[in-house]
């Protein structure tokens, strides 16, 4: 692990442990609007893949964040902080690692899942089978959940977010007043979905 990354992870560990936080024991809570898709919450110790709109990732982060848990985001330098707040993510309990080298990615994720309930991360192009196995073991031990923005071997479920519409914008003009996001979940060859209202600050 590079010196910069190691220092950043050590700082996050110290911060989170000082707040005496711990991942959920059995499941990770979700927003009430997502309860139809995840009646028991996200599976603790599992990995989900997510493709499509970043709004879906923010919606997933909002559940545990609003429930009082710490969350982590790795490898997303362009994360919309204002949009995260609008979804209900508490920035005071959000650990951000905007950039991480491919060699350090697994180590950073493994460190964060020990002290957060949910980590959303953009993966490098290649993660070795050995790294996958070690990370899965760490997730099961910690009870944390990982959402990977891309592909992952044998995920608990495959998620896809798609913007259905934006409200208030006509022919490129007007004030954005809201929108709709469809979140699809594919599990055991069955696909379900819910439509969410995208929160927009007035």
Mean pLDDT by 10 residues, the chain (202 residues): 58 59 71 95 96 95 95 94 94 93 92 93 94 94 95 95 78 62 94 92 61
pTM of the model: 0.87
Handedness of CA 24, 28, 31, 36 (dihedral sign): negative
The DSSP call for residue 150 is: S
* Helix, strand, coil % in the chain, rounded to nearest 5: 30, 30, 40
pLDDT on residue 171:
45
Per-domain residue ranges of the chain: 3-156
CATH number for the region 3-156 comes to: 3.40.50.300
What's the confidence (pLDDT) of residue 95? Answer: 92
Collapsed DSSP state (helix, strand, coil) of residue 178: strand
């Amino acid at each position: 692990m590079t010196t910069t990354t190691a220092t950043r992870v050590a700082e996050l560990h110290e911060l989170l442990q000082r707040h005496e936080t711990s991942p959920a024991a059995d499941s990770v809570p979700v927003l009430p609007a997502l309860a139809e898709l995840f009646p028991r919450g996200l599976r603790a110790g599992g990995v989900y893949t997510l493709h499509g709109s970043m709004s879906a990732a923010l919606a997933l982060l909002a559940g545990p964040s609003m429930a009082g848990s710490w969350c982590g985001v790795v490898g997303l330098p362009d994360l919309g902080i204002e949009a995260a707040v609008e979804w209900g993510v508490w920035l005071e309990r959000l650990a951000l690692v905007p950039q991480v080298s491919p060699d350090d990615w697994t180590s950073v994720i493994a460190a964060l899942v020990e002290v957060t309930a949910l980590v959303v991360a953009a993966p490098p192009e290649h993660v070795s089978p050995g790294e996958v196995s070690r990370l899965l073991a760490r997730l099961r031990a910690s009870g944390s959940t990982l959402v990977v923005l891309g592909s992952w071997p044998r995920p608990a479920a495959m998620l896809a977010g798609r913007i259905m519409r934006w409200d208030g914008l006509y022919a490129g003009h007007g004030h954005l007043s809201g929108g709709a996001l469809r979140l699809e979940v594919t599990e055991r060859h069955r696909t379900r979905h819910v439509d969410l209202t995208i929160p927009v600050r007035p």
